[in-house]
Protein backbone atom coordinates (compact mmCIF):
# COMPACT_ATOMS: atom_id res chain seq x y z
CA UNK A 1 0.00 0.00 0.00
CA UNK A 2 1.29 3.47 -0.87
CA UNK A 3 0.85 6.46 1.38
CA UNK A 4 0.01 9.86 -0.14
CA UNK A 5 2.74 12.48 0.43
CA UNK A 6 -0.05 14.81 1.59
CA UNK A 7 -0.55 12.65 4.70
CA UNK A 8 3.06 13.16 5.71
CA UNK A 9 2.64 16.90 5.17
CA UNK A 10 -0.58 16.99 7.21
CA UNK A 11 1.19 15.10 10.02
CA UNK A 12 3.99 17.67 9.90
CA UNK A 13 1.44 20.52 9.99
CA UNK A 14 -0.23 18.92 13.04
CA UNK A 15 3.10 18.54 14.86
CA UNK A 16 3.99 22.16 14.04
CA UNK A 17 0.62 23.43 15.33
CA UNK A 18 0.97 21.45 18.56
CA UNK A 19 4.46 22.93 18.94
CA UNK A 20 3.19 26.49 18.48
CA UNK A 21 0.37 25.89 20.97
CA UNK A 22 2.73 24.37 23.56
CA UNK A 23 5.05 27.35 23.04
CA UNK A 24 2.17 29.70 23.86
CA UNK A 25 0.59 28.02 26.87
CA UNK A 26 3.54 26.43 28.67
CA UNK A 27 4.98 28.40 31.59
CA UNK A 28 8.17 26.43 32.21
CA UNK A 29 11.10 27.79 30.22
CA UNK A 30 12.53 24.30 29.56
CA UNK A 31 9.21 23.02 28.16
CA UNK A 32 8.97 26.11 25.95
CA UNK A 33 12.41 25.31 24.60
CA UNK A 34 11.32 21.70 23.96
CA UNK A 35 8.33 22.89 21.93
CA UNK A 36 10.73 24.86 19.71
CA UNK A 37 12.55 21.58 19.06
CA UNK A 38 9.19 19.98 18.21
CA UNK A 39 8.51 22.71 15.63
CA UNK A 40 11.97 22.18 14.07
CA UNK A 41 11.24 18.45 13.81
CA UNK A 42 7.90 19.10 12.13
CA UNK A 43 9.61 21.28 9.51
CA UNK A 44 12.25 18.56 8.99
CA UNK A 45 9.50 16.02 8.25
CA UNK A 46 8.03 18.37 5.63
CA UNK A 47 11.51 18.80 4.07
CA UNK A 48 12.03 15.03 3.83
CA UNK A 49 8.55 14.50 2.37
CA UNK A 50 9.16 17.15 -0.30
CA UNK A 51 12.60 15.68 -1.04
CA UNK A 52 10.89 12.32 -1.64
CA UNK A 53 8.31 13.95 -3.90
CA UNK A 54 10.76 15.88 -6.08
CA UNK A 55 13.47 13.16 -5.93
CA UNK A 56 15.99 15.79 -4.80
CA UNK A 57 18.82 15.19 -2.35
CA UNK A 58 19.02 18.89 -1.44
CA UNK A 59 15.90 18.64 0.72
CA UNK A 60 17.67 16.13 2.93
CA UNK A 61 20.80 18.31 3.03
CA UNK A 62 18.60 21.08 4.41
CA UNK A 63 17.42 18.75 7.19
CA UNK A 64 21.05 17.93 7.96
CA UNK A 65 21.88 21.61 8.42
CA UNK A 66 18.74 22.18 10.50
CA UNK A 67 19.88 19.36 12.81
CA UNK A 68 23.35 20.91 13.16
CA UNK A 69 21.94 24.34 13.96
CA UNK A 70 19.40 22.81 16.39
CA UNK A 71 22.19 21.06 18.27
CA UNK A 72 24.19 24.29 18.58
CA UNK A 73 21.04 26.18 19.59
CA UNK A 74 20.15 23.60 22.26
CA UNK A 75 23.61 23.85 23.83
CA UNK A 76 23.56 27.66 23.98
CA UNK A 77 19.88 27.84 25.03
CA UNK A 78 20.30 25.41 27.90
CA UNK A 79 23.38 27.31 29.08
CA UNK A 80 21.28 30.50 29.09
CA UNK A 81 18.54 28.67 31.07
CA UNK A 82 21.11 27.53 33.64
CA UNK A 83 22.50 31.06 34.10
CA UNK A 84 18.96 32.52 34.32
CA UNK A 85 18.07 29.96 36.98
CA UNK A 86 21.23 30.85 38.93
CA UNK A 87 20.30 34.50 39.18
CA UNK A 88 16.48 34.18 39.53
CA UNK A 89 15.94 30.81 41.27
CA UNK A 90 12.88 30.21 39.06
CA UNK A 91 12.02 28.63 35.72
CA UNK A 92 8.62 30.34 35.35
CA UNK A 93 8.66 32.69 32.34
CA UNK A 94 6.19 35.09 33.99
CA UNK A 95 8.79 35.93 36.60
CA UNK A 96 11.58 36.37 34.06
CA UNK A 97 10.90 39.83 32.67
CA UNK A 98 14.35 41.41 32.41
CA UNK A 99 17.00 40.72 29.82
CA UNK A 100 19.59 41.47 32.49
CA UNK A 101 20.95 38.36 34.19
CA UNK B 1 3.15 -2.49 5.08
CA UNK B 2 4.02 1.15 4.34
CA UNK B 3 0.54 2.31 5.33
CA UNK B 4 0.57 0.29 8.56
CA UNK B 5 4.00 1.62 9.59
CA UNK B 6 2.98 5.18 8.70
CA UNK B 7 -0.23 4.95 10.75
CA UNK B 8 1.45 3.35 13.79
CA UNK B 9 4.40 5.74 13.97
CA UNK B 10 2.36 8.78 12.92
CA UNK B 11 0.03 8.08 15.85
CA UNK B 12 3.08 7.68 18.12
CA UNK B 13 4.26 11.11 16.92
CA UNK B 14 0.91 12.79 17.51
CA UNK B 15 0.42 11.06 20.87
CA UNK B 16 3.89 12.07 22.04
CA UNK B 17 3.36 15.67 20.95
CA UNK B 18 -0.02 15.86 22.72
CA UNK B 19 1.52 14.29 25.82
CA UNK B 20 4.24 16.98 25.76
CA UNK B 21 1.44 19.55 25.72
CA UNK B 22 -0.62 17.98 28.51
CA UNK B 23 2.03 16.91 31.03
CA UNK B 24 2.83 19.40 33.75
CA UNK B 25 6.19 17.99 34.78
CA UNK B 26 9.08 18.86 32.42
CA UNK B 27 10.71 15.43 32.66
CA UNK B 28 7.51 13.78 31.34
CA UNK B 29 7.44 16.29 28.47
CA UNK B 30 11.09 15.50 27.68
CA UNK B 31 10.45 11.75 27.59
CA UNK B 32 7.43 12.16 25.29
CA UNK B 33 9.55 14.36 23.01
CA UNK B 34 12.01 11.44 22.76
CA UNK B 35 9.09 9.25 21.58
CA UNK B 36 8.21 11.85 18.92
CA UNK B 37 11.79 12.08 17.65
CA UNK B 38 12.35 8.31 17.51
CA UNK B 39 9.13 7.70 15.59
CA UNK B 40 10.05 10.54 13.22
CA UNK B 41 13.24 8.58 12.50
CA UNK B 42 11.09 5.63 11.34
CA UNK B 43 9.08 7.99 9.10
CA UNK B 44 12.35 9.26 7.58
CA UNK B 45 13.31 5.66 6.83
CA UNK B 46 9.95 5.12 5.12
CA UNK B 47 10.67 8.19 2.96
CA UNK B 48 14.07 6.78 1.99
CA UNK B 49 16.31 9.04 4.09
CA UNK B 50 18.49 6.44 5.75
CA UNK B 51 21.31 8.74 6.86
CA UNK B 52 18.87 11.25 8.33
CA UNK B 53 17.02 8.53 10.23
CA UNK B 54 20.21 7.48 11.99
CA UNK B 55 21.29 11.10 12.53
CA UNK B 56 17.87 11.81 14.02
CA UNK B 57 18.30 8.99 16.54
CA UNK B 58 21.90 9.90 17.38
CA UNK B 59 21.70 13.70 17.38
CA UNK B 60 18.13 14.38 18.51
CA UNK B 61 17.04 11.42 20.64
CA UNK B 62 20.59 10.90 21.84
CA UNK B 63 22.52 14.12 22.25
CA UNK B 64 19.97 16.92 22.44
CA UNK B 65 17.40 15.15 24.60
CA UNK B 66 20.06 13.83 26.99
CA UNK B 67 21.17 17.46 27.37
CA UNK B 68 17.57 18.46 28.12
CA UNK B 69 17.04 15.69 30.68
CA UNK B 70 20.40 16.51 32.23
CA UNK B 71 19.48 20.19 32.65
CA UNK B 72 16.04 19.31 34.07
CA UNK B 73 17.68 17.08 36.67
CA UNK B 74 20.45 19.61 37.36
CA UNK B 75 17.98 22.41 38.07
CA UNK B 76 15.61 20.04 39.91
CA UNK B 77 12.67 21.46 37.91
CA UNK B 78 9.33 20.67 39.52
CA UNK B 79 5.77 20.92 38.23
CA UNK B 80 5.01 24.20 36.54
CA UNK B 81 2.63 26.50 38.38
CA UNK B 82 -0.39 28.10 36.78
CA UNK B 83 -0.15 31.87 36.57
CA UNK B 84 -2.30 34.64 35.18
CA UNK B 85 -0.14 35.01 32.09
CA UNK B 86 -1.41 31.82 30.53
CA UNK B 87 -5.07 32.94 30.14
CA UNK B 88 -4.30 35.44 27.39
CA UNK B 89 -2.24 32.77 25.66
CA UNK B 90 -5.24 30.41 25.69
CA UNK B 91 -7.58 33.10 24.30
CA UNK B 92 -5.22 34.09 21.49
CA UNK B 93 -3.54 30.72 21.05
CA UNK B 94 -6.40 28.28 20.44
CA UNK B 95 -8.03 30.17 17.50
CA UNK B 96 -4.66 31.12 16.05
CA UNK B 97 -3.25 27.61 16.12
CA UNK B 98 -6.49 26.12 14.76
CA UNK B 99 -6.44 28.66 11.92
CA UNK B 100 -2.78 27.83 11.17
CA UNK B 101 -3.49 24.09 11.08
CA UNK B 102 -6.64 24.52 8.95
CA UNK B 103 -4.82 26.69 6.38
CA UNK B 104 -1.90 24.25 6.09
CA UNK B 105 -4.08 21.13 6.02
CA UNK B 106 -6.56 22.51 3.49
CA UNK B 107 -3.70 23.56 1.21
CA UNK B 108 -2.23 20.07 1.37
CA UNK B 109 -5.63 18.41 0.85
CA UNK B 110 -6.43 20.52 -2.22
CA UNK B 111 -2.99 19.80 -3.70
CA UNK B 112 -2.97 16.08 -2.79
CA UNK B 113 -3.35 14.82 -6.35
CA UNK B 114 -0.28 16.73 -7.55
CA UNK B 115 1.77 15.47 -4.59
CA UNK B 116 1.17 11.85 -5.54
CA UNK B 117 2.04 8.72 -3.57
CA UNK B 118 5.10 7.79 -1.54
CA UNK B 119 6.14 4.29 -2.58
CA UNK B 120 8.42 2.31 -0.29
CA UNK B 121 11.88 2.01 -1.87
CA UNK B 122 11.02 4.38 -4.71
CA UNK B 123 13.60 7.01 -3.78
CA UNK B 124 16.38 5.93 -1.42
CA UNK B 125 19.16 8.40 -0.71
CA UNK B 126 22.18 6.42 0.42
CA UNK B 127 24.81 7.98 2.65
CA UNK B 128 27.17 7.93 -0.35
CA UNK B 129 24.87 10.07 -2.51
CA UNK B 130 24.17 12.46 0.33
CA UNK B 131 27.83 12.92 1.15
CA UNK B 132 28.69 13.38 -2.53
CA UNK B 133 26.33 16.38 -2.73
CA UNK B 134 27.42 17.64 0.68
CA UNK B 135 31.17 17.52 0.11
CA UNK B 136 31.21 18.40 -3.59
CA UNK B 137 28.61 21.17 -3.97
CA UNK B 138 28.13 22.38 -0.41
CA UNK B 139 31.59 22.15 1.12
CA UNK B 140 31.72 25.82 2.17
CA UNK B 141 28.41 25.78 4.13
CA UNK B 142 29.54 22.52 5.76
CA UNK B 143 32.77 24.11 6.93
CA UNK B 144 30.93 27.23 8.09
CA UNK B 145 28.70 25.07 10.34
CA UNK B 146 31.83 23.76 12.05
CA UNK B 147 32.71 27.34 12.97
CA UNK B 148 29.13 27.82 14.18
CA UNK B 149 29.41 24.79 16.45
CA UNK B 150 32.77 26.02 17.78
CA UNK B 151 31.20 29.40 18.62
CA UNK B 152 28.26 27.59 20.26
CA UNK B 153 30.59 25.49 22.43
CA UNK B 154 32.50 28.59 23.58
CA UNK B 155 29.24 30.46 24.21
CA UNK B 156 27.78 27.60 26.24
CA UNK B 157 30.91 27.35 28.37
CA UNK B 158 30.99 31.12 28.99
CA UNK B 159 27.27 31.32 29.82
CA UNK B 160 27.07 28.32 32.13
CA UNK B 161 30.29 29.11 34.00
CA UNK B 162 29.94 30.12 37.64
CA UNK B 163 30.83 33.75 38.31
CA UNK B 164 33.94 33.99 40.41
Please check whether residue A15 is in contact with residue B14, taking contact to mean a CB–CB distance below 8 angstroms. Answer: yes
Does the residue B108 lie in any domain?
yes
Q: Tell me, what's the pLDDT at B27?
A: 93
Chain A neighbours among B 82-111 (CB < 8 Å)?
82-86, 89-90, 92-94, 96-98, 100-101, 104-105, 108-109, 111
Residues 6+ apart with CB under 8 A from B159: A76, A79, A80, A82, A83
Q: Tell me, what's the pLDDT at A93?
A: 84
Q: Is the confidence at residue A90, as pLDDT, over 80?
A: yes
Q: Indicate if B11 and B60 belong to the same structural domain.
A: yes
Residue A99 three-state SS: coil
Asked if B41 is an interface residue toward chain A (Cβ–Cβ < 8 A), one would say no
Asked if B121 is an interface residue toward chain A (Cβ–Cβ < 8 A), one would say no
Compare CB distances from A55 to B84, B123, B134 and report the shortest one's residue. B123
Please compute the mean of the pLDDT values over residues B126-148 and round it to a whole number. 92
Please compute the mean of the pLDDT values over residues B25-34 and round it to a whole number. 93
Please report which confidence band the pLDDT of residue B85 belongs to, taking 50, 70 and 90 as the band edges: low
Does the residue B83 lie in any domain?
no
Complete domains list, chain A, with CATH: 5-95 (1.10.287.3510)
Asked if A90 is an interface residue toward chain B (Cβ–Cβ < 8 A), one would say no
Q: Indicate if B150 and B100 belong to the same structural domain.
A: no
Q: Tell me, what's the pLDDT at B89?
A: 77
Q: Indicate if B72 and B140 belong to the same structural domain.
A: no
Q: Contact A60/B52, CB-based, under 8 Å?
A: yes
Q: Contact B3/A78, CB-based, under 8 Å?
A: no
Q: Tell me, what's the pLDDT at A97?
A: 79
Does the residue B72 lie in any domain?
yes
Hey, CA dihedral for B164, A74, B93, B25, is it positive or negative? negative
Q: Is the confidence at residue B148, as pLDDT, over 90?
A: yes
pLDDT digit string (tens) for A58-73?
999 999 999 999 999 9
Please report which confidence band the pLDDT of residue B77 belongs to, taking 50, 70 and 90 as the band edges: confident
| Position with higher pLDDT, B107 vs A1 | B107
Q: Indicate if B9 and B51 belong to the same structural domain.
A: yes
Please report which confidence band the pLDDT of residue B86 belongs to, taking 50, 70 and 90 as the band edges: low
What CATH number is associated with residue B40?
1.20.120.1200
Highest mean pLDDT among A76-80, A86-90, B120-124: A76-80
CA distance A39 to chain B (A): 10
Please compute the mean of the pLDDT values over residues B24-51 and round it to a whole number. 93
Please compute the mean of the pLDDT values over residues B112-123 and round it to a whole number. 81
Q: Is the confidence at residue A1, as pLDDT, over 80?
A: no
Chain B neighbours among A 44-63 (CB < 8 Å)?
44-45, 48-49, 51-53, 55, 57-58, 60-61, 63
Does the residue B95 lie in any domain?
yes
**What is the rounded (10 degree) CA torsion for A80, A83, A88, A90?**
60
Q: Is the confidence at residue B87, as pLDDT, over 90?
A: no
Closest by CA position to A75, among listed B163, B33, B71, B78: B71
Asked if A15 is an interface residue toward chain B (Cβ–Cβ < 8 A), one would say yes
Q: Indicate if B140 and B114 belong to the same structural domain.
A: no
Percent of chain A with pLDDT over 90: 65
Q: Is the confidence at residue B84, as pLDDT, over 70?
A: no
Q: Indicate if B139 and B64 belong to the same structural domain.
A: no
Please compute the mean of the pLDDT values over residues A82-93 and round it to a whole number. 86
Inter-chain Cβ pairs, chain A and chain B, closer than 8 A: 251
Q: Provide the mean pLDDT of chain B.
A: 89
Q: Provide the mean pLDDT of chain A.
A: 90
Q: Indicate if B112 and B97 belong to the same structural domain.
A: yes
Q: Contact B29/A52, CB-based, under 8 Å?
A: no
CA distance B54 to chain A (A): 11
Closest by CA position to A45, among listed B25, B17, B73, B74: B17
pLDDT digit string (tens) for A18-50?
999 999 988 889 999 999 999 999 999 999 999
Q: Contact B100/A18, CB-based, under 8 Å?
A: no
Asked if B47 is an interface residue toward chain A (Cβ–Cβ < 8 A), one would say yes
Question: How many domains, in total, are found in chain B?
Answer: 2
Q: Indicate if B15 and B60 belong to the same structural domain.
A: yes
Q: Is the confidence at residue B37, as pLDDT, over 90?
A: yes
Does the residue B137 lie in any domain?
yes
Q: Indicate if B109 and B133 belong to the same structural domain.
A: no
Q: Indicate if B52 and B131 belong to the same structural domain.
A: no
Q: Is the confidence at residue B164, as pLDDT, over 70?
A: no
Q: Indicate if B164 and B120 belong to the same structural domain.
A: no
Does the residue B114 lie in any domain?
yes
Closest by CA position to A60, among listed A79, A70, A46, A72: A46
Which residue segment(s) compose the domain that B114 sits in? 2-78+88-125
Does the residue B73 lie in any domain?
yes
Does the residue B22 lie in any domain?
yes
Q: Indicate if B153 and B104 belong to the same structural domain.
A: no
Asked if B31 is an interface residue toward chain A (Cβ–Cβ < 8 A), one would say no
Amino acid sequence: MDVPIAWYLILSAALFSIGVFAFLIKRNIITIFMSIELMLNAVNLAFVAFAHHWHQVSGQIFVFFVMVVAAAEAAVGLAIIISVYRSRETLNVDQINLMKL
Amino acid sequence: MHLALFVIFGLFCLGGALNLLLQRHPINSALSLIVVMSSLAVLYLLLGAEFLALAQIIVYSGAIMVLFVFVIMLLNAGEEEKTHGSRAAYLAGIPGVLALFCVLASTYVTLRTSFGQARLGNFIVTTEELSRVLFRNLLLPFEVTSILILVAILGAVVLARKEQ
